[in-house]
Structure formats: structure tokens, C-alpha cells
Amino acid sequence: MKLKEDADPRAAAVLRRALSDVLRTPTGQEVAADFVAQNASAEVRFDKLDGTLISVNGRKVVSGIRGEARNGSVVAINRLFLDADPELASREMAGTLAHELFGHILEEQRAKNADFPLAALHRYRGDEANGRLIGWLVRTELGAPLSDGGMWGYLKDPEAFHKSLALIDPYYALTFGPDGLADPVPVLRARLEQSRRRRESMDETDIDMRKWRFVIEHFVAEHKMERRRFASVGEDSDNFLEEYSSIKREAGEVEEDIRKRIEFYGTPEGREALRKLSEASRSEHLRAFERRLERYRTRLAMETRGRKREALVPPPPDQIDFDALEKLYQDDVRDNPRHWGL
């Protein structure tokens, strides 16, 4: 593995630290040995990726694309990590590096070694699940807060996790489980309708989040509550609304890409692609991949047993969260309906 030189003098040390963190975890050591055994190689670099730095209870974290694997040989890490909170960025970068390097680059090399078609690998939802599981395991083994809602969702119900992921990102919208690879078109048609319904409901979510800004101002102005007690929930609302335009844009892209893919599968070239996907869905390579995913999921369940989702950055103890804000609002509607024009 090669670390690409960077003009930023901090870059080399930060990348080496991230790799060192990965390799001191049991999962990192296991997949690194596999990486060597498969004769895989990669260049790791910082790059400008879509995203922004947001504040979470006063500490800067990367929101957006944290990393990506390119062409089976390059791992790009979001340059924003260099300016994020160092302690949080260190563990997040380790998980991101493990995800991209050992979740994707390694699997492309494994597929090549097994003569498994890369086109099928890139349409297989397990490729992303693999990266996420490895990243979650590395973060967990490093002692990072168990703050990723996606991790908890996957542990609870992998199928529901994949259905949700397929509706929020154009790339994952065109990926399938083994059964879906065998016959993708019905899956895509159902997904198109699900995406349409989700997009139509998104404006309600926007209105709901904006409502909380008004509710907060009401309790500060009318009930003389301290504004600082709403800092965390206000920050969460602002972060969501800042990202909302890109969320809506991607929802439209999901539908457009699904339509195009359905049309493609109706062409002679598309029908040949369907035949190859169906063949890949029955391969031993894919069955072994599914077993590996289940092994990682079982390990992650054991690592997190008895715990629950944690805050990435715990708020001050007297902060009002969304549940408490909802109760304040409902109680005030009941006791002071005129405050709300009722």
C-alpha cells in the first residue's frame, strides 16, 4: 500500500496514524492479512470530496462523503478530515479507511482472483454492507462512540437497512441481494414506486424540521427559557436543513437512474447483462461473500451486546433533546392553546 504525497504537511502523519489505528484492531489485522494473501494493492490519498464540516455540540465533524474507492486501486479520503476535531476525526478516518481499503479494494481483487465479474460485484448490495461492517467493527474496537444509526439499523434488520439505503443514493438504488441479482427488473419497478412516495413525503419532513425553530423561539421568548438549553437540538435541526437540498436532489436522481436502468435492461445489451447477473447470483463466490457478511454481523452484534446508540459528542447534561422539546410543545398546546392560534 502506498500513501500519496500531499502538499499539506499534516497529511502523511494523519494517514499513517489512521492506518496504524486500523491495524491495532482485531478486525483490521484479519482483513489486512487477507489483503496481503489476495495480492491486493492500493494508493491512499486525501482528496476533495462532497461534504462539509458541521458542528456537533461544538466540535467539528465531517458530514457527507468521507471516502471512496476508485478503479480498484485508489482510496480517497475526504480532505476535510484534516480540519475536523482531531480526536473524533482519528477514529472516523480509521473506520473510513478500513471501509474503503478492506471493504471495497480487497473485494475487487478477490473477485478478480476468482474470475467473478466486477459488473456483478458493483450491482451486489453486499459489497457496501461489507465495507460498512468492517468500518463499524474497526470503530467499535477502537472504542469510538456507537453513534451510527445505520449500524444499529443493520444489526436490527439488514433487509430493512438495504431497502432504506436503496432509496437515498443513486448508486445503491441499482444494487441487489442475491435474489434481486437473479431478477432485478421487478425489484427496480417496486423501488421506483417506493422512491416516488418517499420524495412526495419529504416536504413534510422539511416543514416539520423548520417548525422546531419556531417552537424553540416561542419557549425562549414567551416562557423565558434559556436559549443555551436548546443549543444541541437547534444545531441538529440546522445541520439537517443545510443538507436537505442535496437529500432532495439525490431523491430525484434515484428515480431517474432507476428508470434508465429499467430501460437499459430492455435492450439486447441489457438482456445480456441480466443473464450475467443471474449467473453470478448462483455462484459459490457470492455464497461465500454472504457467509462472510453474516460472520461480521455476528461479531459486531457480540461487540455491541447490551449497549445502545450513543451520542457522537454528548451534549451538556441540561440540554433539551427532541423528545423533551416535543413534550414541551404538546403540553403548551394543551395548557396554552392561544399561544398556537388554537
Could you give the C-alpha distances from 98 to 26, 111, 298, 334, in angstroms and in order? 12, 18, 18, 51
Q: Which domain holds residue 209?
A: 118-342
Q: Are 108 and 148 within one domain?
A: no
Q: Are 188 and 273 within one domain?
A: yes
pLDDT at 251: 86
pLDDT higher than 80, residue 204 = no
Cα gap 214→199, rounded to integer Å:
24
pLDDT at 16: 95
Which of 69, 90, 113 is the endpoint of a domain?
113
Q: Are 106 and 141 within one domain?
A: no
Nine-digit cell string for 254: 434515484
Q: Are 29 and 87 within one domain?
A: yes
Which of 113, 137, 157 is the endpoint of a domain?
113
The sheet that has 67-70: what strands, in order across it? 2-3, 43-47, 74-78, 67-70
Structural domains counted in the chain: 2
Cα gap 4→35, rounded to integer Å:
19
Q: Residue 271 burial (CB < 10 Å; 0-12/13-18/19+)?
A: exposed
Q: Are 151 and 107 within one domain?
A: no
Please, which pLDDT band fits residue 206 given cuts at 50, 70 and 90? confident
Q: Are 106 and 123 within one domain?
A: no
**Percentage of the chain modeled with pLDDT above 70:** 100
pLDDT per residue over 1-23, tens digit each? 788 888 899 999 999 999 999 99
pLDDT per residue over 215-271, tens digit each? 999 999 999 999 999 999 988 888 888 777 778 888 889 999 999 999 999 999 999
Torsion angle of alpha carbons 95, 98, 103, 104, nearest 10°?
110
pLDDT at 205: 72
Domain with 101 in it: what CATH number?
3.30.2010
Output the DSSP codes for 93-128: HHHHHHHHIIIIIHHHHHHHHTT--HHHHTTBTHHH
Q: Are 57 and 105 within one domain?
A: yes
Widest pairwise Cα distance in the chain: 71
Q: Are 74 and 197 within one domain?
A: no
Q: Are 198 and 270 within one domain?
A: yes
pLDDT at 259: 97
Q: Are 342 and 264 within one domain?
A: yes
The predicted model gives 118-134 an average pLDDT of 98
Please, which pLDDT band fits residue 320 given cuts at 50, 70 and 90? very high
Name the DSSP letter for residue 165. H
Q: Are 162 and 260 within one domain?
A: yes
Q: Are 207 and 246 within one domain?
A: yes
Cα gap 306→56, rounded to integer Å:
26
Q: Which amino acid is at 101?
A: L
**Percentage of the chain modeled with pLDDT above 90:** 82
The predicted model gives 122-137 an average pLDDT of 98
Please, which pLDDT band fits residue 317 given cuts at 50, 70 and 90? confident
pLDDT per residue over 47-58, tens digit each? 999 999 999 998
pLDDT: which is higher, 155 or 1: 155
Q: What is the phi-psi region of residue 198: left when phi exceeds 0, alpha when psi lies from -120 to 50, beta otherwise? A: alpha
pLDDT at 2: 87
Which of 74, 90, 113 is the endpoint of a domain?
113
| Type and span of the H or E element at 166 | none
